[in-house]
Structure formats: structure tokens, C-alpha cells
Structure 1
Amino acid sequence: MDILRMTRRQHGDLVVVSLAGEVDVDNVSQVRACLDEAASAVRPRLVVDLTGLTFIDTTGLGVLVRQLATLRDRDGTMALVAPDGQVLRRLRRTNLAPLFPIYDTLSQALA
């Protein structure tokens, strides 16, 4: 099992949260707390970089969907960076991909 690593940084008016390792039921509360804190601004704009994730389970996907709904209620936005791989396949397989703007690279998401 890969240890979860999370970083958060400001990029202009965007907050970029990068997740690396694995997101599962054992650490999803840490992810939720990190995203909640990152989205605490008025009209938050959030980019979640999933490039470094090797695995995400349904609890992790649920946190992303709930965060998106919360942000939309607050007139905020959330985009994902998920290049082709396990995470993107899981988003597509669960029919969640159409909910999010998804970019191949962080540079594209920030443009």
C-alpha cells in the first residue's frame, strides 16, 4: 500500500491540491479535511491533481463528488487532473467523469 501524500498550494485565485499514493476508506477522512480546508474561500476555485494517485476506491470518489456539489452550491468550481490511468478509468467506469472538467496535465488545468 502506498502512503497517501497531500500538498496544497495557491496559484493565483486557484487552490491546487495534489494527491499521491492511495486513497481508500482508511485515509479518506484526511482527504475530505484537506479539500474542505482548501475550499474554505468565498467562491472557491479548486484544482485536484490526481496524477500521483495509484489507487482510489469508491469512498474517495464519493468525497470528490460531495466536494464538487458543495462548491457548486457556493458558486465555486472544481476541476481534476487525471491523465490516462487507473484513476481516470475508475471515473469513467463509474460514470462520474462527465461531472468534472478533467485535464491531462496541471498546466492545462491552470491555463
Structure 2
Amino acid sequence: MATTVTLDGELDLLTTARTTGLLAAAALTTSDIVVDLRSVTFMDATGLGPLVRTACQMGRRGGRVTLVVTDPWLERVLRLARLTDLFTVVRQCGDADTYCPRHA
């Protein structure tokens, strides 16, 4: 069963440490992580860093990171950064029932 991490607000330099901590804690307990980004209002390159590091770490262990993204702008950021192949990206938790049971 996956662990769900819900992030909100801005993902940038000021929130990188908090985001890194939340994702690192989740990575200790599961092989699959769902990161719910539906309440994220802004994300820059530094905000992507913890997500990328976690996805790489999980991938080396045979796990995966699924991102729940409903904002077209955020989807565009992921696409422009060429990160859509690194993550499983879904529009709603219902698209990933087995990965997001707490939000289904």
C-alpha cells in the first residue's frame, strides 16, 4: 500500500526542507508514494528538487512516485522540465485507486 503525502501552498526554496523531510519520512515506510499536489499554488525548480530526488530514490528500490496534479500550469511545468516520464502523473486520485486510498 502506498503512502500519501499531501503538499499545499508554494513549493520553492523556502519550503524545500519541509518537503524533503516529508518525502524522506514517507520513503522509509513504503515502496510507493503518492504526492497529492492538488493544493499547490506555485512550484519552481527548487520545489521540483525534492520530488525528483524521491522519485530517483524510490526507482532504485523498485518503487514509484505518483503525482496527483489537477492544475494545467503545474502539468506544464512538469512537461517543460521533461519529468513526466519520471513520475506517474494522474489528474485525480480516482485514477490511481490503489495508490491513493485515503483520498479515493
Report the TM-score range of the alignment, normalised by the length of the smaller protein: 0.7 to 0.9
Could you tell me which amino acid in structure 1 is paired with residue 17 of structure 2? S
Q: Confirm or deny: 8 A CA contact 1:47 1:109 kept in the other structure.
A: no
Asked if 1:76 corresponds to 2:63, the answer is yes
TM-score by length of 2: 0.87
Q: Which runs of 4+ in 1 moved over 6 A?
A: none
Residue number among 18, 25, 34 corresponding to 2:13 in the alignment? 25
Gaps of 5+ in 2: 99-104
Higher relative contact order (Cα pairs below 8 Å, separated by 6+ residues): 2
Task: Name the SS for the 2:82 alignment partner.
Answer: coil
How many equivalent pairs are there? 98
Instruction: Name 1:35's counterpart in structure 2.
Output: 23
Q: Deviations over 1:52-98 (max 9, x none)?
A: 10111101112111100101112221111112422111101111112
TM-score by length of 1: 0.81
Identical aligned pairs, as a percentage? 35
Could you say which structure has the higher strand fraction?
A: 1
Distance in 1 between the 2:14 and 2:60 partners? Answer: 28
Asked if 1:15 corresponds to 2:3, the answer is yes
Instruction: Name 2:91's counterpart in structure 1.
Output: 104
Gaps of 5+ in 1: 1-12
